[in-house]
Structure formats: structure tokens, C-alpha cells
Chain A
Amino acid sequence: MAIDAEQVRRIAHLARIGLAADEADRYIGDLESILTMVERMHAVNTAGVQPLAHPIDVTQRLRPDVVTEADQRESYQSDAPAVANGFYLVPRVVE
């Protein structure tokens, strides 16, 4: 399974993970060996098999449409990296 630097950069961008140049090189080799192991999956005949997302055959529960959560903004924001007036702060996105 061949992976190139461009593919690693593309995946890292999709995952929003910044990679230094030497780090990207390291992940090329790692991903190649992982995907080579994963390829063994293709030896299994799965013709006509339905994909399984959940191991237990249950249907999703419904609940009454009522408010169950109390307002915990203060508690949740007390550990946030940067907040002001109840808002989370990020670098300016609109000039």
C-alpha cells in the first residue's frame, strides 16, 4: 500500500492536525504498514453481507421532547482556554 507525502498532507489537513515536515515523513511509513495490515481484510468474502454499525439489535429510544439539561455555561466555561461575557474567544474570522 503506497502512500505519498501529498496524501499525508491532505489527510492531516482534513483532520486539522498540523504536521512538521519530518513528522509527515514518519507518518508515511506508519500509514503504509498499517494500511498493508488492513488490506488483509479484502481476503474475506463479504458478498451479500450487510454492514453492521451496532452490535446489539436494538432500536433507538425516544424520549419526551422536554428540557432535561440545566444551564451550566459558567461551570463548563470555567475550564475553557479563553472566554469573555459567556462567549468562547477565537482569533478574528471576519475583518
Chain B
Amino acid sequence: MTTMPDTLGKAAKALASGQISSRELVSTCIARIDAGRHLNAFVSIDAERALDAAAAADRRPPAERGPLNGLPIAIKDIFCQSGVRTTAGSRMLEHWRAPYDAAVIERLTAAGAVLLGKTNMDEFAMGSSGENSHFGATRNPWNENHVPGGSSSGSAAAVAAGMAPAALGTDTGGSIRQPAAFCGLTGLKPTYGRVSRWGMIAFASSLDQAGPMAWDAADLALLLNVMAGVDHRDSTSVDEPVPDYTASLTTSIRGLRIGLSADLLGDDVDADVRATVDASRKVFESLGATIVPVSLPTALAGVPAYYVLAPAEASANLARFDGVRFGHRCADPQSLEDLYLRSRSEGFGTEVKRRILTGTYALSVGYYDAYYLQAQKIRRLIRDEFLAAFSNVDAILAPTTPSPAFALGEKTDDPVAMYLQDVFTIPANLAGIPALSMPAGMSGGLPLGVQLLGPHFGEAKLLQLAHAFQQATDHHLRRPAGVPA
């Protein structure tokens, strides 16, 4: 079991050379998922289906093998997978089977990937700790008394615990990058419109974006190559050429300009986080990059603006859960009104209701201008400040989170304290720009991440910078106790 390759890159090589079969890889993943049940990383596992797909990948003639042939990947339970229970971490969808595959599921499957199962998550992707799931909290493999981050909590925990070499997540305000940082992984939120949202259960449609989570940037490139590209079923998908992200990984970063903003290193940042950003800056300088100060004066107003825009969009998106067409329906409804009220009250958890109420308030008569429009204006200021910065730098280096993973239960009674966890990740979602988090240090036995943010469709350069960093450092090679490297 200890000989299992722990990254997609190593697994692909081992498969190509015949050292291991996909069936062996997938069996090992399933055994580890089983052994790590207490982490609560998965909501649904269909071992037979995964093993059949692995066997099919092993039998596939070499000429028909896609770039991910036989590679096991865990899927956040927000992506529809045909015939498979797809819950979004909610009681509302506890028994719902998706009637079709999400666009990214189609693409992964066509590339030969073996889908291992559906990972736990904060309900409808609303949360920063993994504690808002109807199926219970997920634990952090680095310290089981701590949260893995959220909302892609199960995906992060699954990879960190060695249950899967890579996973899919989604990121509306930091839901890929924050759990990646808390679990010592590399995670990428692509440009808004880079990856199709078709078949991905909607939270805030102008912010949601799917992306890969893995140990290193090379694996993210492999996955993004498959995931990215236009899809006419998603009207916000952008028809922009998809470069070969793997081919450009090893290009030298000498001469690249990296912005550093004092606006994203305020007083509320942990000393260890600050030291990690500083150490990362020095690594980039030693690799020949130039550090340039940039100004992002409105970035920190992103949290209040986001907590108007995202709940407002959520309140509209989640109106579809009416107890009529799919999902939870209350017992013995007395009237149509009673059916709506009780089905939604019973089907949604506390945080989801909190956000629907906040969003409904912000959109209601008399408050729309002061809340929704003001938030959209701040959104433009933040985006324009990023665009101005990127006229002078190739990427921006920033912390991913204000602190390392906090303890389970520590912030569950204070929604605002939880929301402020996303202070450094939210600006990229508002601006629609790509952002990557990679492990860059440790604090009290828990991993810390740093972010690289880039201009729209600048994923190749972010991956190239992260890869260069990972060739020169070993943060991405650290594993939790008991997880073989």
C-alpha cells in the first residue's frame, strides 16, 4: 500500500510503465477511504463502479487512452454525475440522483479518469470550515481536532489523507484555495468562464468556478488541460484558446514581476502567515523574479461586498428548491404555501437559511440601492484595481488565509468571524481573476498557504510560478503523519 504513487504525475508514469494497474491504484484509494472513515471526507462511494471504470481503463488500447487514463479523482458532491446521488451537502438533496453529467465530469471521463466518489462539503458550498454539511463535519488529516477548511472540505481532506491523488472543488469566495491552504495542498480557482459551470449546483452564479486540488502545480496543469474550454451550455463560459498548461510549466520565471500589496498584509494577519509570505517572496527573488509593490486599496472591502452579492445570488438560485420538482418535500402539506415553507425550512440548514435571508433582505424594496448596487460598485473598483496592477506585474503574491486551520467548533457560533476567514480569497472571485494557493510553511503543526493571483486567463503563468517555487522548495512534499509521501 505504501508504494502507491501519491501524485497524478507519478501515478501516470507508473501506469504507463506497467508498474501498477489502474485497478490496483483505485483499490488502494478505496482501502484508504475505508480506513479513514472517521475523517468524513466522502458522502458517497460506489467502489464497484470505480473498480469497473479502472478495469476498463486498464483494458483500453494505448491509442485510445486520454491524458488522465486510469487516474483516480475525487469529486466534490456539487457536480452532477449521472445516476449518482448528488447532495451538495444538503438534506434538501439527500436522496436526489443527478439525471446527467456536469460538463467537467464529461471531460474527466472522456480523458479516462476514474471517479472515486463524492466528497463532503459545506451545504451548497456555503462555509469556510466544512462544518455546515448535513452529513457532518469533515476533519483535517493534519490534526483531526481542526477543520479542513471549506467549502471543498472533503476534497481537501481526501487528498491530504492519501485517499485520492487529486480532487475537484469549486470556489465562490475561496472554497478551493482556503481548504487547500489548511490541508497543505495546491489548489487553483481558474478565471471566471474558463471552466464550464454546466451541471455544477449553483450558489452565486457570477462568482462560482470549478477547479482542481492536488499536491503540486504540475498535477493542477494536467487537470486544467482537461477541464478548461468553452461550453455553449454555460452562457458565461468564455471562448478563449486553452494553452497547454503542462508545456509551459518549466519555462523560467527569471524576469517575471510579482506584485506585493501592503493592503493584503494588514494587522489582522498572523505573524507566521506574514513570515511565510516574506519567505516565499525571497524564494521568488532567488529564482530571478522581481518584487514590485502594488496598491489594492479597496480589496478589503471585498468581504462586505461579497456578503451582499453572494447571498443575493444564492437567494435567487435556491428559489428552485420548492419541494415540487426535486429534492426534499415536507410530509402532508396542507396548502401550496405550507408545502414551500416547510419543505424549505426542513431541507435547508442554518447557514443556508442565514444567507437566503441576508440576500432577500439586500434585494428587498428600499435596500437594493444601498446594499446590492453599492456592492456591485465596489466590485468594479476591486476589479479595476487588479487590472491596473496587472499592467505592471505578472502576478500578485498574497496570503491565502489570515491564520492556519482553526479548531472544530471554534467559529460556528459567530458567522461574521467565519466570513472574515475569506478576506484574502474573496477579491479574486469578485474580480473574476485566477488565483492559486500553494503550501509555503507550517504553523503549530498545520500547513500555511500563499496565493498567487493573475490577470484574466493568466493561469499558465500562475502554474509556471508555482511549479518553479515547488522545484526550489519542499513544502508541497510534506504529508500528515501516517500518510506516505
Cβ-defined contact, B354 with A18, below 8 A:
no
B residues less than 8 Å from A90 (CB atoms): 324, 333, 336, 339
**A34 adjacent to B415 (CB under 8 Å):** yes
Residue of B nearest to A14 (CB): B360
Asked if B348 is at the interface (CB within 8 A of a chain A CB), the reply is yes
Complex Cα gap A90–B168 (Å): 37
Interface size on A, residues (CB 8 A): 50
Instruction: Render B406-417 as a binary contact track against A, CB cut-off 8 A, 1 for contact.
Output: 000000001110
CA distance A14 to B368 in the complex (A): 15
Give the docked Cα–Cα distance between A24 and B324 (Å): 25
Q: Is A85 an interface residue (CB 8 A)?
A: no
List chain A residues, Cβ under 8 A from B432.
Answer: 54-56
Counting chain B CB atoms within 10 Å of each CB, which of A7, A33, A44 scores highest?
Answer: A44
The yes or no answer to B338 lying at the interface (CB within 8 A) is: yes
In the assembly, what is the distance between CA of A9 and CA of B431, in Å? 34
Interface SS of chain B: helix, strand, loop or mixed? helix
* Neighbour of B354 across the interface among A34, A72, A76, CB < 8 A: A34
CB interface residues, B 316-361, toward A, < 8 Å = 319, 322-329, 333-342, 344-345, 348, 353-354, 356-358, 360-361
A52 touches B (CB below 8 Å): yes
> B238 and A56: CB pair below 8 A?
yes
Known contacts A34-B415, A41-B374; is A79 also within 8 Å of B326 by CB? yes
Q: Are B206 and A50 in contact (CB under 8 A)?
A: no
Q: Does B28 contact A (CB under 8 A)?
A: no
Taking a contact as CB atoms under 8 Å apart, the answer to whether A53 and B374 are in contact is: no
B383/A41 in contact, CB under 8 A: no
Q: A36 to chain B: which residues have CB within 8 Å?
A: 416
Asked if B426 lies at the interface with its beta carbon under 8 angstroms from chain A, I say: no
Query: Shortest CB–CB separation between residue A62 and chain B, in angstroms?
Result: 10
Cα of A95 to Cα of B302 in the assembled complex, Å: 50
Q: How far is the CA of A17 from the CA of B307 in the complex (A)?
A: 20
The CA of A8 and the CA of B376, in the complex, are separated in Å by: 24
Are B341 and A17 touching (Cβ within 8 A)?
yes
The docked-state distance in angstroms from the alpha carbon of A41 to that of B430 is 14
Task: Return the chain A residue nearest B298 by Cβ.
Answer: A44
Choose one: A11, A34, A46, A63; the contact of B378 (CB below 8 Å): A46
- State whether the Cβ of A81 lies closer than 8 Å to any Cβ in chain B: yes
Q: Are A15's CB and B193's CB within 8 A?
A: no
| Structural contact, B235 and A60, CB atoms closer than 8 A | yes
CB neighbours (8 Å) of A80 from chain B are 324-326
Contact status A41-B99, CB under 8 Å? no
- Among B96, B192, B301, B364, which residue has its beta carbon within 8 angstroms of that of A40? B301
The residues of B that contact A54 with a CB separation of less than 8 Å are 206, 236, 432
Q: Is B303 an interface residue (CB 8 A)?
A: yes
In the complex, whether A39 has a CB less than 8 A from a CB of chain B is yes
Q: Does A67 contact B (CB under 8 A)?
A: no
Shortest distance from the beta carbon of A33 to any chain B beta carbon, whole Å: 5
Q: Which residue of B lies closest to A29 (CB)?
A: B415
- Measured CA separation A60–B232 after assembly (Å): 11
Nearest A residue to B327, CB-CB: A81
A49 close to B336 (CB less than 8 A): no
Q: Which residue of B lies closest to A81 (CB)?
A: B329
Chain A residues 1 to 57 lying within 8 A of chain B, measured CB to CB, are 7-8, 11-12, 14-19, 27, 30-31, 33-44, 46, 49-56
A38 to B319: give the CA distance in the assembly, Å.
23
- Chain B positions within 8 Å of A76 at CB level: 99, 325-326
Min distance, Cβ A7 to any Cβ of chain B, angstroms: 8
Q: Given A11-B364, A56-B191, A91-B336 in contact, is the A17-B344 Cβ separation under 8 Å?
A: yes
B373 lies within 8 A of chain A by Cβ: yes
A84 touches B (CB below 8 Å): no
Smallest CB separation, B453 vs chain A (Å): 13
Is the pair B338, A91 in contact by a Cβ cutoff of 8 Å?
yes
Docked CA distance A43–B303 (Å): 13
Q: Write the residues of chain B forming the contact surface with A, with a CB cutoff of 8 angstroms.
A: 95-97, 99, 191-193, 206, 232, 235-236, 238-239, 298, 301, 303-305, 307-308, 315, 319, 322-329, 333-342, 344-345, 348, 353-354, 356-358, 360-362, 364, 370-371, 373-381, 383, 414-416, 419-420, 430-433, 456
**Assuming A16-B340, A55-B432, what are 10 further A-B pairs, CB within 8 angstroms?**
A31-B354, A34-B358, A34-B419, A44-B298, A44-B378, A55-B206, A56-B432, A76-B326, A78-B97, A80-B324
| 30 sampled A-B residue pairs with Cβ under 8 A | A11-B360, A11-B361, A15-B315, A15-B360, A16-B322, A19-B345, A31-B358, A33-B416, A34-B358, A36-B416, A37-B303, A37-B304, A37-B307, A38-B304, A44-B298, A44-B378, A49-B380, A51-B377, A51-B380, A52-B379, A53-B376, A55-B192, A56-B456, A58-B193, A61-B239, A72-B99, A75-B99, A78-B99, A80-B326, A82-B329
Interface residues of A (CB under 8 A from B): 7-8, 11-12, 14-19, 27, 30-31, 33-44, 46, 49-56, 58, 60-61, 63, 72, 75-76, 78-82, 88, 90-91, 93
